[in-house]
Amino acid sequence: MYYSKKSAEPTPEEQTSIWSCLSDGCECWMRDNFSFDSNPNCPICGSEMLADSRMLPVLKK
């Protein structure tokens, strides 16, 4: 394997746990580690949120 060290490296992504709004037409979601509740409600419409996951850029600490 060869990796070139260029400045335009793609941002690394990883499968990240998120909460996704269950309301039709509401696109709201948030990272699981940004929510303080084990079963949060959507901050936009107040609907229940479903545990989901998606590929997101890795957060730098």
In the complex, minimum distance from the CB of residue 16 to Zn ion, in angstroms, rounded to a whole number: 19
Residues 6+ apart with CB under 8 A from 39: 48, 49
Kindly state whether residue 45 participates in binding Zn ion, applying the rule CB under 5 A.
yes
| Shortest Cβ 42–Zn ion spacing (Å) | 3
Task: Number of residues interacting with Zn ion: please give it, by CB under 5 A.
Answer: 8
Integer Cα distance of 58 and 61 in angstroms:
9
Which residues, in sequence order, are CB contacts of 57 under 8 Å at separation 6+?
A: 11, 12, 13
In the list 16, 28, 32, 56, the residue contacting Zn ion (rule: CB under 5 A) is 28
Query: Given the rule CB under 5 A, which of 3-11, 15-23, 29-37, 52-60 is the region that contacts Zn ion?
Result: 15-23
